Structure 1
Amino acid sequence: MIFTVTLNPSIDYVVRLDKLTNGITNRTTSEEYYFGGKGINVSCVLAELGLDSTAYGFVAGFTGEAIEKGIRNDRIITDFIKLKHGISRINIKIKAGVETEINCQGPHIDDSELERLLQKIDRIANGDTLVIAGSIPNTMPDDVYERMLERISRKDVKIVVDATKQLLVNSLKYKPFLIKPNRQELSEIFGTEVKTEEDIEKYAKELQKMGAKNVLISLGGEGAMLIDENGEKHKAGVLKEKVINTVGSGDSMVAGFVAGYEKEHSYPYALKLGSVCGNATAFLSGLATREKIDELLVKFEKEFES
């Protein structure tokens, strides 16, 4: 079983306007909403790829109920901890020529509620996969990722970590199966500007020395690079279509990689499927769908493998 953790899920409310003017009533031209959170996004794309997962995390209030009901389907088991107080956050994305985001704090999570999550982590068994993704709420301790990973450190669990800065670095001692920094995050971790392909490979291998098995680096419009646990370098290009939305693209890449490796036990295939899923989300208003993934797989093979 694949388990995903989203500590601070949200409803992302997207509003579109021709122009945003401060101090007056603005009228939207359209609006939509999505159930957000990096781990949730991974579960949703895994479902599109035909893989089951269990989604862990915290929800609260009427918005939490909406998130849980909204993502539950035949392939996603929702096993969130329902907090007694507060509501799950609503993040506002204002698209009016440029994009403005208002991200909210989310509910308070106390020590007893965190312990309930850790007890759920204890149920993860040998052969399972755990995906921990995203930032942590400011009410939670900085070492929460480490606490989770410590609980399964003596089990044969594939650990996937998609986080930034110290959250990522502190997880490396648990030898994660996969981490997914981008170029900017590599620069931040090592305190230097990572520019060239040689730089990317060099610092990815430094992360491997620190404990990571496979390092997947997303490079935006330049595609992606994987340094696998055998030291081999793999690259994937980017398909050419109009980019509609980049939110969730990295999460979709993680889901595709995990699914690809589960199905084929091949790093080149895992990278290909991860790249296609990331592209599929970028080319849609929401997350990648199975139809779009299948369409882009054919295009990817024709463009990069023929």
Structure 2
Amino acid sequence: MIYTVTFNPSLDYIVSVDSFQLGMTNRTTFEQILPGGKGINVSIVLRNLGLETTALGFVAGFTGEEIRRRVEEMGCRSKFIRVASGVSRINMKLRSVEGTEINGMGPDIPGEKLEELMQILDSLTASDILVLAGSIPSSLPDSIYMDIMKRLNDKQVRIVVDATRELLVNVLPYHPFLIKPNQHELEEIFGVGLNTRADAVPYAKRLQEMGARNVLISMAGEGAVLAAEDGTVFDSPAPKGTLVNSVGAGDSMVAGFLAGWLETGDYHHAFKMGVAAGSASAFSDLLATKEQIERLYTEL
């Protein structure tokens, strides 16, 4: 089973506003409400590709119940843990003004609820895959992903981490199966500027030296790079297409990689599936479907 953990899931309220003006009443021309959070996105794309997945995390209030309902409506299993106080966050994303969004805070996670999640994770075995993805509520320490990996260290669970800065760097001594920094996150970690896929390769290898088994780097329109555990390095330009929505593209890349790797165990195939899935989501209003991914795969 593939389990995904989203510590701070959301309802994403995605809108377009023609000629947006500050200080004025603006009316939407497009509206969409989707369950959000990186782990949830991974679960949805995996399900679209025909794989069974269970979404884990914390939900609170009426928004939390709606997140659970929508995730299960999309065909994913869920074992969300309910938090008594607060509400799960609503994130507003203004699609007509690129990069503009307002993200909520989410509820505080009490210690006993965190331990409830840990006990679920304790049941995982070497046949399972665990995806730790996204930001965490302020009530949790930056070491939380590392704490999980340390706790599961003897179980040989293959763990994927898609997170920023300390959340990501802290886990490297525990040898995650896959990490997926994007170009900007890689630049932040090493304090460098990267322009090409070739520029990223030495830093992908450095992350391997620090403990990661496989390093998948998404670079938006520049494409992607994979430094694989067997020593091979793959890179690919981005497929041609019109960017519609970048939200979830990186998460889709993780899902595509996992689906491809589980299918064949071949890193080149897994990499191509990742690039195709990430691009298919970027070219669509919704997360990538199997048909969209397969079509783009043939172009790589």
Which TM class, normalised by the smaller chain length? over 0.9
- State the Cα distance separating 1:97 from its structure 2 match: 4.3
User: Where does residue 63 of structure 2 map in the other structure?
Assistant: 63
- State the Cα distance separating 1:99 from its structure 2 match: 4.5
Structure 1 counterpart of 2:169, which letter? Answer: V
User: Where does residue 165 of structure 2 map in the other structure?
Assistant: 165
Q: 1:216 to 1:83 in 2, by over 3 A?
A: same
- State the Cα distance separating 1:198 from its structure 2 match: 4.1
User: Where does residue 276 of structure 2 map in the other structure?
Assistant: 276
Structure 1 counterpart of 2:53, which letter? Answer: S
Which structure 2 residue ranges, 5 or more long, are not aligned? Answer: none
Distance of 1:189 and 1:97 partners within structure 2:
28
User: Where does residue 44 of structure 2 map in the other structure?
Assistant: 44
Distance of 1:162 and 1:99 partners within structure 2:
20
Q: 1:274 to 1:96 in 2, by over 3 A?
A: closer
TM-score by length of 1: 0.94
TM-score by length of 2: 0.96
Are the equivalent residues in 1 in contact too, given 2:10–2:89 (CA < 8 A)? yes
SS state of the match for residue 105, structure 1? coil
Distance of 1:237 and 1:269 partners within structure 2:
15
Matches within 5 A, 1:115-134: 115-134=115-134
- State the Cα distance separating 1:34 from its structure 2 match: 1.2
SS state of the match for residue 217, structure 1? strand
User: Where does residue 8 of structure 1 map in the other structure?
Assistant: 8
Distance of 1:97 and 1:137 partners within structure 2:
26
More divergent stretch after superposition (9-18 vs 236-245): 236-245
User: Where does residue 94 of structure 2 map in the other structure?
Assistant: 94
Distance of 1:125 and 1:75 partners within structure 2:
23
Structure 1 counterpart of 2:288, which letter? Answer: A
Q: 1:154 to 1:282 in 2, by over 3 A?
A: same
Structure 1 counterpart of 2:178, which letter? Answer: L
- State the Cα distance separating 1:297 from its structure 2 match: 2.5
Matches within 5 A, 1:13-32: 13-32=13-32
User: Where does residue 293 of structure 1 map in the other structure?
Assistant: 293
Q: 1:186 to 1:97 in 2, by over 3 A?
A: closer
- Structure 1 stretches of 4+ with a deviation exceeding 4 A read none
Are the equivalent residues in 2 in contact too, given 1:280–1:296 (CA < 8 A)? yes
User: Where does residue 108 of structure 2 map in the other structure?
Assistant: 108
- Note the alpha carbon deviations across 1:176-199, whole angstroms, 9 max, x for none: 111111222222111222344443
Which structure 1 residue ranges, 5 or more long, are not aligned? Answer: none
Distance of 2:275 and 2:218 partners within structure 1:
9
Distance of 2:139 and 2:272 partners within structure 1:
38
Structure 1 counterpart of 2:108, which letter? Answer: H
Structure 1 counterpart of 2:32, which letter? Answer: E
1:242 paired with 2:246, answer no
Matches within 5 A, 1:249-264: 249-264=249-264
**CA-atom RMSD in angstroms:** 1.4
Distance of 2:136 and 2:157 partners within structure 1:
22
What percent identity do the matched residue pairs reach? 51
Are the equivalent residues in 2 in contact too, given 1:10–1:36 (CA < 8 A)? yes
- State the Cα distance separating 1:205 from its structure 2 match: 0.9
User: Where does residue 139 of structure 1 map in the other structure?
Assistant: 139
Are the equivalent residues in 2 in contact too, given 1:44–1:76 (CA < 8 A)? yes
Structure 2 counterpart of 1:180, which letter? Answer: K
SS state of the match for residue 130, structure 1? strand
Distance of 1:19 and 1:75 partners within structure 2:
37
